[in-house]
Structure 1
Amino acid sequence: MDEQHTRFCGGPPWSRAGGPPPPLRLWEARRSAGRVPWPSTIAVAVFVMVGSRFAAEGQPEREALDAFARVLLVIGPAFLLLRNRWPVVSVFGVCATALVYFGAGYPYGPIFLTVAVGAFAAVVSGHRFAAWWAVGGLWAGHLLIAHWLYAHLPPGGDDAAPWGQELVIAAWVVAILAASELVRTRREVWARERMERAAAEKRRADEERLRIARELHDVLAHSISVINVQAGVGLALLDSNPEQARTALTTIKAASKEALGEVRQVLDTLRAPGDAPRAPAPGLDRLPELVEQAASAGLRVEIETDGERRALPPGTDLAAFRIVQEALTNVVRHSGSRTAQVRIAYRPGRLDLRIDDEGPATGSDAGGSGNGLAGMRERAAALGGTIEAGPRPDGGFRVRADLPVQPKETM
């Protein structure tokens, strides 16, 4: 794609943002980092406070919930306020608070919920190893307290915890972390799918803009070239041969009317993309009109057909017509030859086009955009075909197109 088309379409999806898109994990983190989860944290804090009181009634052998215990039960949920912006600090904070709570001999209970929420937030935000280390450290600290340090810690006269209890706690920890990993994976998949859909929509919009730019270029280039030539003729003959000047003006009027009609058809597709076009897209059946327009610009076109003519798919038919149109426009603009030869060959599964002029090149600036050959190549490539354009060994210029009859993509 040449530079002009790249500028028209806006470039890659990330070019205007100054770099490639951020990773999915960073994108998810940025989306939620600014929010402080007050409502859910308050709900967790209330549940932990109330639930711990009921849990203490069923565990009379543990230490009673005093002021320090209630402070710990508040500090744990308070760390959860940081779980969106600083998830690592949050998960280590709730685990450390829970470890101090257990070490002080307070009853088992809903304080585990703060650990679950903190670990879940850390894993989902992408800090999975920090969550595993924090929860693993809590479990290891609980093992140390329950089986080795229990004699030196409250409550007094406590015995070692049964090992079956540790298996239950280990299963609970693994279940929480596994659920967190599952949610993290699903969120990353959803985020990736959203980004892929957005990129696909952006790509379709870019391709549509490129198609419209190419169509407008092909529609206007030929007609404007004819108008330019005829305007020069009219100005030169306005005083010496008014009748021929009138003919030139009539040609300008007809060419401009046709150009306006085709531009209107292209713009109608923009206003109502789902509606069918009011007029069929041009094809090789309109070559006589093209020859007549070229003749009005002083160019005689000879058409030769090889093989049995047959109906072409709409995309191939339109591309063939535009390629011939652009090639003849370039002859009018850039060649000193007043004769061009168009050869159309129908092959099995292929359509060959060849447009020749004798030259020589004028070397003058005819006011073109420089997108003509690039547009022809893009049309051919969209169908799976090829374009060759360049000077001929014996002088002049040749454009040769090889198009499949069954296109890869209908334009």
Structure 2
Amino acid sequence: MTGGKRRWRRWAAEGWICLPFLATVLIATGPAAEFQHGSARSPDAAGYVIVTAAALALALRRWPGIALAANTAFVATYLAAGYPFGPVMLTVPVAVYGVASRWPLPRAALAAAADLGVLIVSLFAKRVRDAAGVPAGSGYYPMPRDAIVWGSIITAALAAGALSRALRQAATGVHAEQARRVVSEERLRMAQDLHDSIGHGLAAIAMQAGVALHVLDRDPEEARQSMKAVRATSREALENLRAQLDGLRDMGAAARAPAPGLSDLGRLTERVRAGGVTVHADIAPDLTSLPTAVDAVAYRIVQESLTNVLRHAGAVPVRIRIRREGDALLLEVTNTGGAAGPAPPGNGLGILGLRSQAEVLGGTLTAGPDPDGGFGVRARLPLEGDGR
């Protein structure tokens, strides 16, 4: 029972197009014959069976070759038997269109040419039968004209079907490209998240371990504190890594682990200070209720800037300044000694990745050496529009 219902639904979805043609041939074949006095044979029960079968053949859209062959056979039989022209002729270009919209153009063109050949032969047979049953000259119609007319009709149906197939393939290609782009952007986002969170943790661990080794002999207690910081930072880095891997396995995990924001800067700066870097933070108190995207990108800018200091400049003083200015959030992270520039431009992450995130929000980010020999990262993020 279930299989029968499934087959019926499939047929209804594929074969509904034959119903208008079926109704037309059943209703209009008789009236159309009344205006054609030169036909050898008037529509009878056998004629209606043939036109019904020709219309029902269009229901086989899933198998366009079979539909075209069946339709051609029934229409040719109808014409060769001497029946008058009628609405059954409308089914011919529809069957050709079905083949052209499903098959490659060369294959569809061969099928359409074969259909036209059979149709012309049946038209000739009809002409012979009509001429035998009426006075000389009264039932004559020139064959070249019919060949040209039906050749044009079938060619137009072939072209329309081929165009439909080409447009469908183009749309499929666009959808596939969009899907690939979404996957690529998601991979880039995950890579950026891993770079921001894990990269910073590893840089802080390296700095803290270096401090511990440097003071191990003369100040064991300071070395102990540095190693405790290494332990705390490594644990946090592992937790971030676990959260990122959970996000790869289950996209819902990302929703359970919200991205850090400016409210987490205190913990971030403490880790950097534990590595021997002096951090001066000048953060305005009116930075509550920021748009989520702006808050997350602002945190990442500060995090990446501090990571670059740990990697490239060492224990140099760093100043962080964050404030509102009109409808924008301004960030500035500078070091006062050494050249704490970003990673090499070719890696695609780091400052370059942050610049792209700022631009997505409608903002800007610049990074470069300062006149005093240090390095600065400055960003402007709008608090409205794309940032909300």
TM-score, with length taken from structure 1: 0.60
Alpha-carbon distance between aligned partners in 1 of 2:365 and 2:99, rounded to the nearest angstrom? 57
Q: Give, as a single letter, the amino acid of the residue that structure 1 aligns with 2:245.
A: L
One-letter amino acid matched to 1:200? Q
Partner Cα separation in structure 2 for residue 387 and residue 263 of structure 1: 27
Indicate the residue corresponding to 1:29 in structure 2: none
Runs of 5+ in structure 2 lacking a partner? Answer: 1-38, 42-63, 66-71, 84-88, 129-134
* 1:241 equivalenced with 2:207 (yes/no): no
Partner of 1:372: 350
Alignment of 1:173-192 (within 5 A): 173-192=151-170
Query: Would you say 1:252 and 2:230 are equivalent positions?
Result: yes
Pairing of 1:307-322 with structure 2 (within 5 A): 308-322=286-300
Residue in structure 2 matched with residue 352 of structure 1 by the alignment: 330
Answer yes or no: is 1:330 the counterpart of 2:330: no
**Could you tell me which amino acid in structure 2 is paired with residue 302 of structure 1?**
H
Q: Secondary structure at the match of 1:354?
A: strand
Distance in 1 separating the partners of 2:365 and 2:282: 19
Q: Which residue of 1 aligns with 2:386?
A: 408
Aligned to 2:320: 342
Using the TM superposition, give the Cα deviation of residue 118 of structure 1 relative to its aligned residue in structure 2, in angstroms: 7.4
Find the counterpart in structure 2 of residue 37 from structure 1: none
Secondary structure of the equivalent of 1:235? Answer: helix
Asked if 1 retains the 8 angstrom alpha-carbon contact of 2:321 and 2:331, the reply is: yes
> More displaced, 319-328 or 399-408?
399-408
Letter in 1 for 2:179: E
Task: Say whether 1:394 aligns with 2:372.
Answer: yes
Superposed displacement of residue 59, structure 1 = 7.2
Q: State the partner residue of 1:295.
A: 273
Structure 2 distance, partners of 1:119, 1:205, is 36
Residues 277-329 of structure 1: CA deviation (Å, up to 9, x unaligned): 33332000111111111100111111223583331111111110010011011
Give SS of 2:380's match.
strand
SS at match of 2:376: strand
Kept in 2: contact 1:337–1:358 (CA 8 A): no
Aligned partner of 2:242: which letter?
A: R
User: Is the 8 Å Cα contact of residues 225 and 333 (structure 1) preserved in structure 2?
Assistant: yes
* 1:320–1:119 CA distance, 2 compared to 1 (3 A): closer
Q: What is the aligned counterpart of 2:242 among 261, 264, 270?
A: 264
Map Cα deviations across residues 99-149 of structure 1 (whole Å, 9 max, x no partner).
Answer: xxxxxxx9789xx9999977975686564997799699979x98xx99xxx
Q: What is residue 360 of structure 2 aligned with on the other side?
A: 382
The structure where helix makes up a greater share of residues is 2
Whether the 8 Å contact between 1:307 and 1:346 is mirrored in structure 2 is no
Deviations along 1:175-221, one digit per CA (max 9) or x if unpaired, are: 44444344333323322222222111111110000000000000012
Structure 1 residues 1-150: aligned runs within 5 Å: 121=99, 125=103, 127=105
Distance 1:132 1:262, change over 3 A: closer
Verify the 8 A CA contact 1:300 1:338 in the aligned structure 2: yes
1:211 paired with 2:198, answer no
Decide whether the 8 Å contact of 1:122 with 1:131 is kept in 2: no
Shift of 1:174: 4.7
Displacement, 1:275? Answer: 4.7
SS in 1 for 2:329: strand
> In 2, Cα distance between the equivalents of 1:362 and 1:345?
23
2:314 and 2:93 map into 1 onto residues whose CA distance is 84
Please give the secondary structure, in 2, of the residue aligned with 1:359: coil
The answer as to whether partners of 1:123 and 1:131 remain within 8 angstroms in 2 is no
Q: In the alignment, residue 256 of structure 1 is paired with which amino acid?
A: S
Asked whether the 8 Å contact 1:377–1:386 carries over to 2, the reply is yes
Cα distance in 1 for partners of 2:172, 2:348 equals 38
Query: Post-superposition shift, 1:362?
Result: 7.6
- Conserved 8 A contact 1:123-1:181: no
Secondary structure of 1:304's counterpart equals strand
| RMSD of equivalent CA atoms | 5.0
Do residues 230 (structure 1) and 208 (structure 2) align?
yes
Maintained 8 Å contact 2:317/2:335: yes
Alpha-carbon separation, structure 1, partners of 2:99 and 2:258: 58
Residue 256 of structure 2 corresponds to 278
Post-superposition offset of 1:373: 1.4
CA contact (8 A) 1:349 1:406 kept: yes
Report SS of the residue matched to 1:320. helix
Deviations 1:208-245, CA, capped at 9 Å, x for gaps: 00000000000012111111011122233334433222
What is the distance in 1 between the residues matched to 2:254 and 2:338? 43
Identity across aligned pairs (percent)?
35
